[in-house]
Amino acid sequence: MIEAHAPQRRRGLPALAWRVCVRHPLLVDAAIAGLLLVPGGDTLGHQIAERPVLLPLLAGLVVPLVWRRRAPLTVFAAIAAAASVQWLLAIYPMPANVALLVALYTVAVHRTRRQTLLAGAVLGLGILLVCLRWAPLDKVLHSFVALGAMAVAVAVAGVNIQTRRAYLASLEDRAQRLERERDQQAQLAIAGERSRIARELHDIVTHNISVMVALADAAVFAQQRAPVKATAALRQIAGTGRQALTDMRRFLGLLRHDEPDALRHPMPGIAQLEALADHVRAAGVPVRLDIAGDMAALPAAAELTVYRLIQEALTNTLKHTPAGTSATVRVHRTASAIAVSVTDDGPPVRAAVAAAGGHGIHGMRERTAAYGGQLEAGPNPHGGWRVTALLDLTGARV
């Protein structure tokens, strides 16, 4: 039964023969049909010469096997009909009757259990009729059991092959689905990592460049009237540039394991908020910092989130408000959450910024959502701008 070995290649089978078996099953079935005529040899030839009716009978028993994979039930019915004609003509069983077993096996491999049972019942009836006609009376039961057991063994082998194929197909389908899911997860992880890198670079570059631009404008303005202030602004620009380089080096250190300065520059947190406020104050925006609650046990990721939220909000204040605007930063920690609020007293001229959802506000929303919170950004009823966020600290969402 060639199907039993089809799913995998046997080591003893030559490569060329194996390719022929797999790629050209019709040739294999034709070869099986031809082999069923070989055992008859010369004797079969003499029988056909004496009784020409044997030739179409042999054709009816053997030739349909060529199409057994395409139409298993039809082929079985055709061979069973030929065997019935053989029984009616009282022609003694021939080696070609093995085609019935081959056809039953094919039905068991390619069709349902119910159809296999039906085909097996038809073959069992045929076996009973054959035993009653040609077996000695004292050996009818013995012959029927022997031939019936052979038919049952063939049917069981076919059902097992079908079950094995279905199992292998399910494993292959599962492996393909797992591979697709793995690829999707990898793509999602890559997209998430790209988004994280974009947020970090935006926060680092935008804030420091905004501060440096504001300081440079102040230095140009004070160059003639107050050289000392201009010099201080230039020094502050240099310090801000160095801070930007440090932040970039720190961030690259997280991406590259061979970055030597990664361990020397921890990620910014609550402790660095005062330095952040000083940078913004030096750029011309007075900042009042109000921190309440125990920040000692705050996770490092939460500290970084708070720092970036305040950094982005102050950068927007620095970029979008006129001179003389001041800002207030409040950070309040409770047992289960931490609230962040950044407000300024500038004119509410930035409503379009919130409506457009720029990279900065979008990044702040993503950071807040990572902690199961929501971010609100918009103009105050009494003027100015307000950014609020509430981070849930009860679960590890990051």
Mean pLDDT by 10 residues, the chain (398 residues): 46 57 71 71 62 80 89 93 89 86 93 94 93 89 93 94 92 90 85 73 71 74 73 74 69 55 63 87 87 84 87 84 87 90 79 54 82 85 86 69
* Beta strands 327-333 and 287-292, pairing class: parallel
- For domain 285-398, the CATH superfamily is Histidine kinase-like ATPase, C-terminal domain (3.30.565.10)
Q: What is the pLDDT of residue 39?
A: 56
Instruction: Give the length of the chain.
Output: 398
Q: Find, among 23, 90, 103, 19, the residue nearest to 60 by Cα.
A: 103
Taking the whole predicted model, whether its pTM rises above 0.75 is answered as no
Question: What residues contact residue 309 under an 8 Å CB cut-off, 6+ apart?
Answer: 340, 342, 364, 367, 368, 375, 387, 389
- Only one residue has tokens 């063994």, namely 153
CA distances from 72 to 4, 147, 234 (A): 16, 21, 90
Give pLDDT tens digits for 299-351: 888 888 898 899 888 888 888 888 788 999 999 998 888 999 999 988 765 55
Residues 105 and 88: beta-carbon distance below 8 Å: no
Radius of gyration of the chain (CA): 43
CA dihedral of residues 362, 366, 368, 372 (deg, nearest 10): 140
Coil/strand/helix, residue 249: helix
What's the token pair of residue 66? 């060529």
Question: What residues contact residue 147 under an 8 Å CB cut-off, 6+ apart?
Answer: 127, 130, 131
Q: How far apart are CA 63 and CA 33, in angstroms?
A: 6
Residue range(s) in the chain whose domain bears CATH number 3.30.565.10: 285-398
Question: What residues contact residue 228 under an 8 Å CB cut-off, 6+ apart?
Answer: none
284 φ, ψ (degrees, to nearest 5): 115, 5
DSSP-derived secondary structure letter, 297 = T
Cα distance from N-terminal residue to C-terminal residue, the chain = 58
Q: Find, among 375, 363, 255, the residue nearest to 315 by Cα.
A: 363
Q: What is the pLDDT of residue 247?
A: 67
